[in-house]
Chains A and B, each alone.
Chain A
Amino acid sequence: DTGVSQDPRHKITKRGQNVTFRCDPISEHNRLYWYRQTLGQGPEFLTYFQNEAQLEKSRLLSDRFSAERPKGSFSTLEIQRTEQGDSAMYLCASSSSGTDTQYFGPGTRLTVL
């Protein structure tokens, strides 16, 4: 069990550019969650997958955001036409559907200049 991993750990981009983040969950976990954390705040739910199906999206997830989990293993989160307000830590977590305990990755810190 290597834990949840995320790549990259840090991303600096210019406003208007597209960025993509990757999350690799714990191998036997079928649920995968994305959260966003801004400075001084708790994480906020964005979306989650059970296997390859995206089952819920928060209203925080604007049309510029898209997430995929094509084979039910790793997931990607893409942000198109980034804005300065997108600067945050993006967290991924995974769990088994039979439990309510989520395990978090180290996060990807996005800075939009």
Chain B
Amino acid sequence: GDSVTQMEGPVTLSEEAFLTINCTYTATGYPSLFWYVQYPGEGLQLLLKATKADDKGSNKGFEATYRKETTSFHLEKGSVQVSDSAVYFCALSDAGGGNKLTFGTGTQLKVEL
């Protein structure tokens, strides 16, 4: 079945540092790929998405590129802020299964001054 693997956290960075959170996936079809973010005490919010190979999703300074050859969708940001502290989830959707989402276990990011 489909699966998503994320790097384990927590990831602790200083403000303005470069961020990479690794995500790889296994899927039988051609899924869409997503990054969701969960801020403390809040629900899941869509951060960005990509629907086909070589697409780049971007939002709020975050980027991720759909790499079919390496089955990866790594999240990057050039300069993190304290307000980026949250849990980040990589996910894929199964178009043949009503677009239900399969999530990774999440990576907690802590950004310090």
Q: B-contacting residues of A (Cβ < 8 Å)?
A: 31, 33, 35, 40-45, 48, 50, 55-56, 91, 93, 95, 100-107
Cβ of B98 and Cβ of A55 under 8 Å apart?
yes
Given A101-B49, A105-B43, A42 contacting B98 (CB threshold 8 A): no
CB-based nearest B residue for A4: B43
Cβ of B100 and Cβ of A33 under 8 Å apart?
yes
Interface residues on B, range: 20 to 34
Q: How far is it, in angstroms, between the C-alpha of A91 and the C-alpha of B51 when the chains are bound?
A: 24
Q: Per DSSP, are chain B's interface residues mostly helix, strand or loop, or mixed?
A: strand
Residue in B89, B97, B98 with the greatest tally of chain A CB atoms within 10 Å: B98
A45: which B residues are within 8 A, CB to CB? 100-102
Q: List 17 A-B contacts (CB under 8 A).
A: A31-B99, A33-B101, A40-B106, A42-B104, A42-B106, A43-B89, A43-B103, A45-B101, A55-B98, A56-B97, A56-B100, A91-B44, A100-B51, A102-B46, A104-B44, A106-B42, A106-B43
A41: which B residues are within 8 A, CB to CB? 105-106
Query: Quick one: which of B1-59 are within 8 Å of A by CB?
Result: 4, 32, 34, 36, 42-46, 49, 51
